Amino acid sequence: MIRKLKHGSVELVIGNIVDQRTDAIVNAANTKLAGGGGVDGAIHRAAGPELKELCLQFPADENGRRCETGHVQVTTAGKLAAKFVIHAVGPFYNEKYAEKAHAQLRQLHVHALQAAIDHNCKSIAFPAISTGAYRFPIADAARIAIASVCSFLDANIGIELVRFVLYKQGQYDTFKLALDDWSAK
């Protein structure tokens, strides 16, 4: 499904993030930008070894961190069809610090969209960040991701298409509900 907002559209699809032909795809990375499982593993496998080399060029702090939680780093995309990979570090969900995690997930989506504009991207594909290994409850993650993206597209010119690529039907249904709720406001 696709829904038009003031300055661009939001699309929901079931699929694999590595197959997207958008200008940018967003990786569900970790602070070390050293690869991992899930989306991160799939993107690195499909892009080829060049992607990790590019990631390791970002300076690391004393703990090996190359990107803070809620922030992004951008590389080219190796063998992928996309032009750029926006490596975004979502929060690991802990119920005790839920408000902080909500704010970081919101911030991450805004940073990714801004980075896409800075790299002249007109289209960008997001997976459901933090909802796998990082255990963010899917309904909250969907509500936050949809609200962040829709508010951004209502307020900023530059991105024509934001696609959420959901891996499973249940995740798609949850995102669709969040988008319907946003549109009904």
The catalytic residues are: 40
Is residue 110 close enough to count as binding ligand AR6 by CB under 6 A? no
Is residue 167 close enough to count as binding ligand AR6 by CB under 6 A? yes
Q: Which amino acid is at 89?
A: V
Is residue 91 close enough to count as binding ligand AR6 by CB under 6 A? no
Selected binder of ligand AR6 within 9, 14, 36, 147 (CB under 6 A): 36
The contact pattern for ligand AR6, residues 115-154, with x = CB under 6 A and - = no contact, is ------------xxxxxxxx--------------------
| Residue count, binding to ligand AR6 (CB under 6 A) | 24
Q: What is the number of other CB atoms lying within 10 angstroms of the CB of residue 36?
A: 16
Strand order in the sheet with 2-4: 2-4, 9-14, 161-166, 123-126, 24-29, 84-89, 72-76
Q: Nearer Cβ to ligand AR6, position 132 or 158? A: 132
Query: What region does 48 belong to: left with phi over 0, alpha with psi -120 to 50, or beta?
Result: left
As given in the structure block, the two tokens for residue 56 are 């390791």
Q: Which stretch binds ligand AR6 (CB under 6 A): 2-10, 37-45, 50-58, 61-69?
A: 37-45
- Kindly give, in sequence order, each residue whose CB lies less than 8 Å from that of residue 181, ignoring residues fewer than 6 positions away: 143
Is residue 107 close enough to count as binding ligand AR6 by CB under 6 A? no
Q: Nearer Cβ to ligand AR6, position 142 or 159? A: 142
Selected binder of ligand AR6 within 1, 2, 4, 37 (CB under 6 A): 37
Q: What is the largest CA-CA distance in the chain?
A: 47
Is residue 42 close enough to count as binding ligand AR6 by CB under 6 A? yes
- Kindly give, in sequence order, each residue whose CB lies less than 8 Å from that of residue 1, ignoring residues fewer than 6 positions away: 11, 12, 176, 179
Q: Which residues bind ligand AR6 (CB under 6 A)?
A: 16-18, 28-30, 36-40, 42, 90, 127-134, 165, 167, 171
